[in-house]
Amino acid sequence: MSQAPLRTLVSVAELSALLRGDERVVLLDCGFDLADAQAGERAYGAAHLPGARYAHLDRDLSGAKTGRNGRHPLPDRRTLAQRAGTWGVAPGVPVVCYDAQGGPYAARAWWLLRWLGHDAVAVLDGGRQAWADAGHVLSSAQPDGITASPYPLGEPAMPTIDAERLLASLGRSAILDARAADRYRGEVEPLDAVAGHIPGALNRFFKNNLQPDGRFKPAVQLRTEYESLGLDSGQAPVHQCGSGVTACHNLLAMEHAGLYGSVLYPGSWSEWCADPSRPVAVG
């Protein structure tokens, strides 16, 4: 690429310039609605960035549920590598993920591709709406299918922590919960069987990363806000949410702000609360 490698966010103008170049670019539409699992795919079928392929949260960006591993467990890495190949993702090929919900599902795809070891991936700042607001066309045309090799697997390139290790580190690790404040406090729980949060976790609602227009806040502002949380515990911050999706939004925001090294707890609250022996905090 002639410009700096994609790593966190890409603006509409930057993406437009990239698409006008000679380099192949993979676009992933990750739009989703937790209340209607087919809504994102319907919206994609009606209007998406030209050439974009659809990545479904449940089918493509999550693995099989057991009832005790959370609502959106990580997919098997080999399965994900095969899926990435069908999208056209290959080493060195730029990938831009987007959605129409403020970026949480695009951030999940971004994290997963980074986890596979793919560096050249970013989230479109402002998503589909920002693209349309800038006067760029949307399309309902389906891209042609491709036959490609699975993405070559190495060691996982993004760190994770499981419930047992997190339980053992309570009181020492800084934990950030990306859910809305009322869910974090345990006042409401629309999705999981138990209300509350992991003891010691701090609340950072993922939508607080955004400006009113749906774009991310400037990197300097994000850095100031995250540093004000007092995350320096001597260990890497652990990100979690309800099911490991919106936590990726906070992790992306921190990386965009130059705060690297965060760890994802993929099972998040939906896995944590499935075991009654694990402690729960409210308030």
Which residue matches tokens 């079928």? 45
End-to-end alpha carbon distance in the chain: 49
The rounded Cα 191 to chain-centroid distance in angstroms is 19
Is the Cβ–Cβ distance between 138 and 44 less than 8 Å?
A: no
Q: What residues act catalytically?
A: 241
CA atoms within 13 A on the CB side of 223: 9
* Cα–Cα dist 99/89, whole Å: 18
Beta strand spans in 158-241 (E): 175-177, 202-203, 238-240
Residues linked to residue 10 through DSSP beta bridges, in sequence order:
124
